[in-house]
Amino acid sequence: IKILAIETSCDETAASVIQNGHEILSNVVVSQIESHKRFGGVVPEVASRHHVEAITHVIDQALKEAELEPADLTAVAVTEGPGLIGALLIGINAAKTFAFVHDLPLIPVHHIAGHIYAAQLEKPLVFPLVSLVVSGGHTELIYMKDHMSFEIIGETRDDAVGEAFDKVARVIELPYPGGPHIDKLAQAGEDTFDFPRGLMKEDTFDFSFSGLKSAVINKLHNYSQKGIEINKSDVAASFQASVTDVLTAKTFAALKEYDVKNLIIAGGVAGNSELRRRFTAMCEEHKVNLQIPELKFCTDNAAMIGAAAYHLYEKKHLADLRLNGRNFIDIEEYAF
Ligand code: ATP
Ligand code: MG
Ligand code: FE
């Protein structure tokens, strides 16, 4: 089974050919980061325009790298949502057109299911599992008893972790997207500020990061008012320590409560080196089988969409040419 997968939910135009849900025949990602940097974030209309320019080239390149003709494909998969509606529609219209012209089945994929299934590019998933999704727009603990079965057991009540990384990066004057820059800066710093650990002691699997963000901003204000220069590496390390403490505490509490020994960490923030280090050590200690995708499959890509699409194809979850983009889709609706 060879699936051409397309992903355009945010600021990456991506296409990939995935065989049998895990063999990567090609993986093309064109990032728009350079273009959005000057605005300090993704501008939706600008994103859509870049997708329009790039999409046909990206699809051609994915087929070329895979050394395949459209006739060799089994199906076309595309991110249906969640994401920026204008951006999603570019990928969806490209996928629908491709499917119509080449008479191929069309598979709609949930973007966050894609992030989780990035783990499958390395190893098959083992159930039951808990997935910690930490991306630019989502922070969720998801319980999966089988393929394409999602139960949200906890989620953020305000900011997503990636969003918190990007906002904190902005106030300490790092370029967009700030996550990787904070990661790097933190390596030279220490957890000296003791920022709050949102909801860590509360009996809930939900998260809250807006208090942490405010605490960082207040600290910066205090220092600048007193005319003292703040150690930005320490700010980055302290911020990251707070985030990692909360994420590990909640995740291990969920693993215990649900009696689960398999953990997947998914989404852009799963690329964070401190988070990877802490989870790796704790999973070893607690004998939990940990899967974190390779760095380039943590952030947005189409290979992960092709990996998830394989199971949707098996379950005959297909769309017709009426498929539309949806800026929000509850992943629990995607349980098949
Ligand atoms: P969503 O998947 O929720 O729709 P998105 O697609 O924009 O949102 P991703 O591509 O999964 O999000 O991840 C991007 C986020 O990951 C950004 O917020 C970015 O700062 C963050 N990120 C990337 N690398 C790192 C890192 N090394 N450390 C911390 N954060 C990181
Ligand atoms: Mg992105
Ligand atoms: Fe994403």
As a whole number, mean pLDDT of residues 222-227 equals 95
What pLDDT score was predicted for residue 134? Answer: 98
| 233 labelled ligand-binding | no
- 273-282, Cβ contacts within 8 angstroms, sequence gap of 24 or more: 273/183, 273/187, 274/183, 274/186, 274/240, 274/241, 274/244, 275/134, 275/240, 275/243, 275/244, 275/247, 278/244, 278/248, 279/248, 279/251, 282/248, 282/252
pLDDT at position 40 over 90: no
- 92-100, Cβ contacts within 8 angstroms, sequence gap of 24 or more: 92/323, 92/324, 92/325, 94/6, 94/8, 94/55, 94/56, 94/59, 95/6, 95/323, 96/321, 96/323, 98/4, 98/59, 98/70, 99/75, 99/321, 100/321
| 179 labelled ligand-binding | yes
The answer to whether 104 and 98 are in contact (CB under 8 A) is: yes
β-strands 262-266, 289-291 pairing: parallel
Predicted confidence (pLDDT) per residue in 276-330, tens digit: 999 999 999 999 999 999 999 999 999 999 999 999 999 999 999 999 999 999 9
- Least Cα distance to 20 among 101, 124, 106 occurs for 124
Nearest CA to ligand 1 atom 19: 179
Encoded amino acid at 216, one letter: V
Distance, CA of 135 to CA of 82 (rounded, Å): 12
Residues 6+ apart with CB under 8 A from 132: 140, 141, 247, 251, 263, 264, 265, 266, 270
Mean residue pLDDT across the chain: 97
Which of the ligands is closest to the CA of residue 276? 1
Predicted confidence (pLDDT) per residue in 47-83, tens digit: 999 999 999 999 999 999 999 999 999 999 999 999 9
What pLDDT score was predicted for residue 329? Answer: 95
pLDDT at position 336 over 80: no
Q: Which residues lie with the beta carbon below 6 Å from any ligand 1 atom?
A: 9-10, 83, 111, 115, 135-138, 162, 165-166, 177-180, 183, 267-269, 271-272, 299-300
Helix or strand holding residue 185 (H, E): helix 179-186
Instruction: Indicate whether this complex's ipTM tops 0.95.
Output: yes
What pLDDT score was predicted for residue 11? Answer: 94
DSSP state, 320? Answer: -
CB atoms within 10 A of CB 245: 16
pLDDT at position 335 over 80: no
Helix or strand holding residue 142 (H, E): strand 139-144
Distance, CA of 130 to CA of 151 (rounded, Å): 9
| 183 labelled ligand-binding | yes
Q: Which two tokens stand for residue 82?
A: 């969640």
Distance, CA of 213 to CA of 198 (rounded, Å): 10
pLDDT at position 259 over 90: yes
Torsion of CA 64, 69, 72, 74, to 10 degrees: 70
Nearest CA to ligand 1 atom 29: 179
- Ligand 1 centroid, distance to 155 Cα (angstroms): 16
- The phi and psi torsions of 283 (rounded to 5 degrees) equal -70, -35
Instruction: Name the pTM for this structure.
Output: 0.97
Q: Which two tokens stand for residue 268?
A: 């852009």
| 111 labelled ligand-binding | yes
Residues lining ion ligand 2 (Cβ < 5 A) are: 10-11, 300
Predicted confidence (pLDDT) per residue in 86-103, tens digit: 999 999 999 999 999 999
Residues 6+ apart with CB under 8 A from 310: 1, 3, 18, 20, 21, 22
